[in-house]
Amino acid sequence: MYKRYQIYITGNVQRVGFRSKAYENALKLNISGMAMYIDHAIMIEAEGDAGNLSDFIDWCRIGPELCTIESIEVTEQPPRFSDGFDLVHGVVSSKKLSDFFVS
């Protein structure tokens, strides 16, 4: 079954390679979407096979070495059937999220 999730992760998640490791894991698991830093957190949109997404979310709960996860919020969204996985560079203000994440 094909699904899409928004994953919001707080903690020490910036400047530890979280986006790039999320990208690597997404490619390995055939997951599309995007990852960006927002304010002091990371937001990931991920979609693909439900089993692969489960593995990806499990990885997000741990993250890369040197990160510390305080909280993770996973919200199911309607699939968009996007292609590829993008890294949004810089830090996006949470007030601008609607520019990137549209249900």
* Residue pLDDT, tens place only, 9-66: 999 998 999 999 999 999 999 999 999 999 889 999 999 999 999 999 999 999 999 9
Q: Is residue 55 part of a domain?
A: yes
pLDDT in tens, 70-84: 999 999 999 999 999
C-alpha to C-alpha distance for 22 and 10, rounded to whole angstroms: 15
C-alpha to C-alpha distance for 17 and 99, rounded to whole angstroms: 24
CATH number at residue 73: 3.30.70.100
Q: Is residue 100 part of a domain?
A: no
Q: Is residue 19 part of a domain?
A: yes
Q: Is residue 92 part of a domain?
A: no
pLDDT in tens, 92-103: 766 655 555 444
Residue partners of 83: CB distance under 8 A and separation at least 6: 32
* Domain extent for 14: 2-83
Number of domains in the chain: 1
pTM score, whole prediction: 0.87
**Residue 8 bridge partners (DSSP):** 43, 73
Q: Token pair for residue 83? A: 């292609």
Q: Is residue 34 part of a domain?
A: yes
Residue 82 in contact with residue 47, Cβ under 8 Å? yes
